[in-house]
């Protein structure tokens, strides 16, 4: 069977290509921009890549065309598919039909933390010897690639709420029918396709409707938007997780066959915490207490870990084994990934698409820096590239999100609904806005000092600013800047 994928270099579509190749299909694909690292990963697997969306790429006629959600009517390849009556489908539909239909699916949904939680959960299952299949929207440091067909009944999938295709405006996750579903959190995002939070809640409820009665929903305690989703109707048992929830509340919520997972931070960084499982008998008694020690920081990652432990527990992995696995978890690329250190200045890369993601990341590194000796500054360099941020809807939230930084620098896109003058004027910390990467790099070359921690935040490549910063900050003879 020959499958051709339109938009193959996207994270999701590239992962589908990997799985299709593992299933024994002939796989080819085309995209507007074919570039590493995805292109390299695909070419190494023998997948034929083509630049652009030309109708001739579809000769000879493939058995099936999988169309990515970034493509729409007017695209030459899409028009050719429709005009010639070629067999086509969306990526989520293909995944559901050809991969997930006979698997125990563990779906990870939420505005934030999907990739990290999916990576944690997959690694726990792998550590426990369960050989899961998986599709994760990022490259993890524990696994060889972003997707794998696996060798067991279990399949972990990052369950995204974005739409499936130009011909299927349902959220991707509606196709997955998970047996175990994590709903990590829910905020207004993807303003290019959703009018308001209520519209996203409706899609999340569509997901809830697909989880079987003998499955499990894992949800955060006290998350208003998630509770609104569940009030629309819920036919599946649920377990909750939270941080520093009073014991009497935990026991009450865990009683009568339920379960509650509660965390207590041992240090403010989140790199060490105690997790307590409540739920034995009718009183919600304490079942176990364990301590997690790992190399990851941030309260948000503690929540991600709790959800992953609960999901792994649902498929038979004991808490102790899950915690051992987390102790060897090495994170996801572009999630506070240290890209280099030059003359005492560290440059980190972080995937940021929403004010809450910015705030939680900065809070996590702020707490870590507080615990370390010596002077240090936290400098955030932000490219507000996501559709939601560019529309200007979260203007004030962006100001508030940066309060833990010592300095914030904004990259101004060509077209944006954000008022950057107001962002700078309203900033609680010194703020600056520049139009080009060159200006930002030049500013940092002049103003960075030893002990600085520069966090570059974007959901795109940001014009390769990380390497440009490292080159500019290296004043040794071999490190002359070339930006």
For residue range 419-436, what is the model confidence (pLDDT) as tens digits?
A: 888 888 888 888 888 888
pLDDT in tens, 128-182: 999 999 999 877 788 888 899 999 999 999 998 889 999 999 999 999 999 999 9
> Where among 35, 63, 89 does a domain terminate?
89
313 and 396 in a common domain = no
Which position has the token pair 């593992």? 22
pLDDT at 153: 96
Mean pLDDT of 440-452: 89
pLDDT at 378 over 80: yes
Nearest residue to 30 via CA among 12, 63, 56? 56
Contacts (Cβ under 8 Å, ≥6 apart) of 284 = 250, 251, 252, 253, 254, 255, 258, 260, 278
Residues 341, 322 share a domain: no
pLDDT confidence of 121, banded at 50, 70, 90?
Answer: very high
Question: What is the pLDDT at residue 138?
Answer: 73
Q: What is the mean pLDDT of residues 450-479?
A: 81
pLDDT range class, residue 464, cuts 50, 70, 90: confident
In eight-state DSSP terms, residue 62 is: P
Per-residue pLDDT for 336 more than 80?
A: no
The upper half-sphere exposure of residue 193, i.e. CA atoms within 13 Å in the direction of its Cβ, equals: 16
97 within domain boundaries: no
Mean pLDDT of the chain: 87
Q: Is residue 196 part of a domain?
A: yes
Specify the CATH number for the domain of residue 138: 3.40.1190.10
Are residues 351 and 264 part of one domain?
no
Question: Exposed, middle or buried: residue 161 (CB in 10 Å: 0-12, 13-18, 19+)?
Answer: buried
Q: Determine the pLDDT at residue 478.
A: 57
CA 11 to chain centre: 11
pTM comes to 0.79
pLDDT digits (tens, 9 = 90+) for 317-328: 999 999 999 999
447 has pLDDT over 90: no
Of 206-215, 337-346, 379-388, 439-448, minimum mean pLDDT range:
379-388
In a domain? residue 96 = no
pLDDT confidence tier of residue 472, bands split at 50, 70 and 90: confident
Of the chain, the percentage scoring pLDDT greater than 70 comes to 93
Which CATH number goes with the domain that contains 18?
Answer: 3.40.50.720
Domain finish residue from 44, 66, 89: 89
pLDDT of 191 > 70? The answer is no
pLDDT attached to residue 36: 67
Q: Does position 284 have pLDDT exceeding 60, yes or no?
A: yes
Query: Is 95 part of a structural domain of the chain?
Result: no
Same domain, 85 and 110: no
The answer to whether 326 and 306 are in contact (CB under 8 A) is no
Domain count, the chain: 3
Comparing 42 with 230, the larger pLDDT belongs to 230
Residue 94 lies in a domain: no
**Same domain as 41, residue 109:** no
Q: Could you tell me if residue 381 is inside a domain?
A: yes
Q: Looking at the structure, do residues 32 and 119 belong to the same domain, yes or no?
A: no
Question: Cα-atom radius of gyration of the chain, to the nearest Å?
Answer: 23
Do 346 and 472 fall within a single domain? yes
pLDDT of residue 321: 96
Residue 481 pLDDT: 47
Cα separation, 417 vs 172, in Å, equals: 27
401 within some domain: yes
Are 244 and 273 contacting, i.e. CB atoms less than 8 angstroms apart? no
C-alpha separations of 431 from 269, 282, 299 in Å: 26, 54, 26
Whether residue 272 is contained in a domain is answered as yes
**Long-range contacts from 147-154, C-beta under 8 angstroms, 24+ separation:** 147/15, 147/16, 147/18, 147/19, 148/18, 148/19, 148/22, 149/19, 149/22, 149/23, 149/99, 153/102, 153/103, 153/104, 154/103, 154/104, 154/106, 154/125, 154/130, 154/315
The CATH code of the domain that includes 371 is: 3.90.190.20
Query: Are 50 and 198 within one domain?
Result: no
How are the residues of the chain apportioned to helix, strand and coil, as percentages rounded to the nearest 5?
A: 35, 25, 40
Dump pLDDT digits (tens) for 13-38.
999 999 999 999 999 999 987 766 67
The domain in which residue 351 lies consists of 337-479
Average pLDDT over residues 226-251: 93
CA distances from 314 to 49, 154, 182, 204, 308 (A): 40, 12, 11, 21, 10
pLDDT value at position 24? 95
Amino acid 480: pLDDT: 47
Cβ atoms 69, 44 nearer than 8 A: no
Contact 313, 420 (CB under 8 A): no
Sheet holding 64-67, edge to edge: 48-51, 26-31, 2-6, 64-67, 88-90
Q: Which residue has the higher pLDDT, 177 or 411?
A: 177
Mean pLDDT of 463-478: 80
Say what the pLDDT of residue 392 is.
Answer: 57
User: What pLDDT is attached to residue 243?
Assistant: 93
Residues 228 and 287 occupy one common structural domain: yes
**Residue range 73-98, pLDDT digits in tens:** 999 999 999 999 999 999 999 999 99
Task: Say whether both 139 and 240 belong to one domain.
Answer: yes
Question: Same domain, yes or no, for 238 and 341?
Answer: no
318 and 438 co-located in one domain: no
Domain-ending residue, one of 327, 361, 389? 327
Q: What is the pLDDT, as a whole number, of residue 28?
A: 95
Q: What is the pLDDT of residue 126?
A: 96
Q: Tell me what pLDDT residue 352 has.
A: 72
- pLDDT of 482 > 50? The answer is no
Give the number of other CB atoms < 10 A from CB of residue 118.
29
């Amino acid at each position: 069977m020959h499958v051709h994928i339109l938009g193959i270099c996207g994270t999701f579509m590239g992962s589908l290509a990997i799985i299709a190749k593992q299933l024994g299909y002939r796989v080819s694909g085309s995209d507007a921009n074919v570039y590493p690292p995805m292109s390299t990963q695909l070419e190494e697997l023998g997948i034929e890549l083509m630049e652009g969306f030309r109708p001739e790429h579809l000769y000879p006629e493939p058995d099936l065309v999988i169309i990515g959600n970034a493509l729409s009517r007017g695209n030459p390849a899409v028009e050719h598919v429709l005009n010639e009556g070629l067999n086509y489908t969306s990526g989520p539909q293909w995944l559901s039909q050809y991969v997930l239909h006979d698997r125990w699916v563990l779906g990870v949904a939420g505005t934030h933390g999907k990739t990290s939680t999916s990576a944690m959960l997959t690694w726990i299952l792998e550590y426990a010897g369960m050989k899961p299949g998986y599709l994760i929207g990022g490259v993890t440091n524990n696994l060889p690639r972003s997707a794998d067909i696996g060798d067991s009944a279990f399949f972990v999938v990052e369950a995204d709420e974005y739409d499936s295709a130009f011909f299927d405006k349902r959220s991707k996750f509606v196709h997955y029918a998970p047996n175990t579903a994590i709903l990590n959190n829910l905020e207004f995002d993807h303003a290019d396709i959703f009018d308001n939070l209520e519209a996203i809640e409706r899609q999340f409820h569509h997901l809830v409707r697909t989880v079987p009665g003998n499955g499990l929903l894992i949800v955060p305690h006290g998350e208003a938007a998630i509770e609104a989703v569940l009030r629309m109707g819920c036919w599946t048992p649920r377990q909750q997780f939270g941080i520093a929830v009073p014991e009497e509340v935990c026991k009450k919520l865990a009683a009568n066959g339920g379960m509650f997972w509660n965390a207590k931070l041992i240090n403010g960084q989140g790199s060490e915490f105690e997790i307590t499982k409540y739920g034995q008998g009718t009183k919600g008694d304490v079942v176990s207490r364990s301590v997690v020690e790992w190399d990851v920081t941030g309260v948000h990652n503690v929540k991600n870990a709790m959800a992953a432990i609960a999901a792994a527990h649902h498929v038979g992995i004991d808490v102790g084994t899950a915690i051992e696995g987390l102790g060897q978890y090495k994170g996801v690329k572009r999630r506070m990934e240290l890209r280099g250190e030059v003359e005492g200045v560290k440059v980190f890369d972080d995937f940021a698409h929403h004010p809450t993601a910015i705030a939680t990341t900065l809070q996590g590194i702020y707490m870590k820096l507080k615990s370390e000796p010596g002077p240090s500054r936290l400098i955030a360099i932000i490219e507000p590239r996501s559709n939601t941020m560019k529309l200007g809807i979260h203007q004030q939230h962006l100001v508030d999100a940066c309060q833990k930084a010592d300095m914030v620098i904004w990259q101004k896109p060509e077209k944006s609904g954000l008022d950057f003058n107001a962002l700078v004027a309203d900033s609680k910390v010194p703020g600056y806005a520049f139009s080009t990467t060159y200006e930002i790099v030049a500013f940092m070359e002049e103003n960075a000092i030893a002990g600085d921690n520069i966090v570059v935040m974007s959901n795109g490549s940001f014009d390769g600013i990380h390497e440009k910063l490292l080159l500019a900050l290296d004043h040794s003879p071999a490190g002359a800047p070339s930006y």
